[in-house]
Amino acid sequence: IFMNNKLKNLCSCAFLIPYLLMLVLCGIPLFFLESAIGQFCSQGPINMWRAVPVLQGVGLSMVMVNALVSIYYNVIIAYSLYYMFASMQFPLPWSSCSSWADRKCSSLPKVYCNVSGVLMTNWTQENITCPSSNKITVSVESPSEQYWDHVALQRSSGLDETGPVVWHLALCLLLSSIIVAAALIRGIKSSGKVVYFTATFPYVVILILLIRGVTLEGARDGIDFYIGSQSNLTKLTEGQVWKDAATQTFFSLSIAWGGVPTLASYSNFHNNMFLDSVIVTVINDGTSVFAGFAIFSILGHMAHVYGKPIGNVVKEGFGLAFIAYPDALAKLPISPLWSILFFFMLLTVGLDSQFAAIEVITTCLLDAFPNILKSKRAVVTILTCIIVFLLGLPCVTRAGIYWVTLIDQFVASWVMLILALMEIIGFCYIYGVNRFIKDIEMMIGKKSFCFWLWWRACWLFLTPCIIAVILVWSLVIFVPPTYGKVQYPAWGLALGWSMVAFVLIWIPVIAFYKVIKAKGNFCKVISLCSPSEEWHPYLDIHRGERYSKNTAAEETVSDNKTEDKKM
Quickly state the pLDDT bin for 559 (edges 50, 70, 90). very low
Pick 321 or 459 by higher pLDDT.
Answer: 459
The verdict on whether omega for the bond into residue 91 sits within 30 degrees of 0, i.e. cis, is yes
More confident residue, 120 or 359: 359
CA distances from 435 to 160, 261, 438, 565 (A): 52, 18, 5, 12
The pLDDT score that the predictor gives to residue 222 is 83
Measure the CA dihedral 43/44/50/54, to 10°: 180
pLDDT in tens, 109-148: 666 666 555 555 544 445 556 665 555 666 677 888 889 9
> Of 493, 346, 475, 362, which is closest to residue 421 (Cα–Cα)?
475
* 412 vs 291: CA distance, rounded Å: 22
Average pLDDT of the chain is: 82
Say if residue 299's pLDDT is above 50: yes
Residue list for the binding site for Na(+): 252, 284, 352-353
Q: Looking at the predicted structure, is the pLDDT value of residue 293 above 80?
A: yes
**Does residue 236 carry a pLDDT above 80?**
no
Residue type, 365: L
The pLDDT value given to residue 220: 86
Yes or no: say if 72 and 403 are a contact pair by the CB < 8 Å rule: no
DSSP line for 303-347 = HHHHT--GGGTPPSTTHIIIIIHHHHHHTSTTHHHHHHHHHHHHH
Return the pLDDT at 300. 85
The C-alpha angle 386, 392, 393, rounded to 5 degrees, equals 100
The pTM is what?
0.84
Q: What is the pLDDT of residues 527-553, one digit of tens each?
A: 788 888 889 898 888 887 677 754 444
- Average the pLDDT over 388-412 and give the result: 90
Q: Which residues are annotated as a binding site?
A: 252, 284, 352-353
Terminal CA-to-CA distance of the chain, rounded, Å? 42
Strand segments, DSSP code E, in 7-148 are: 110-115, 118-120, 135-138
The percentage of residues in the chain with a pLDDT greater than 70, rounded to a whole number, is 84
Residue of 456, 428, 455, 438 lying closest to 536 (CA atoms): 438
C-alpha distances in angstroms, 297 versus 142, 264, 559? 20, 37, 58
Burial of 542 (0-12, 13-18, 19+ CB in 10 A): middle
Q: Are 94 and 330 in contact (CB under 8 A)?
A: yes
pLDDT tens for each residue of 42-70: 988 999 999 999 999 999 999 999 899 89
Q: In angstroms, rounded to a whole number, what is the distance separating the alpha carbons of residues 153 and 83?
A: 11
Task: Phi first, then psi: give them for residue 115, nearest 5 degrees.
Answer: -110, 115
pLDDT at 454: 94
140-181 pLDDT tens trace:
778 888 899 899 999 998 888 888 999 999 999 999 999 999
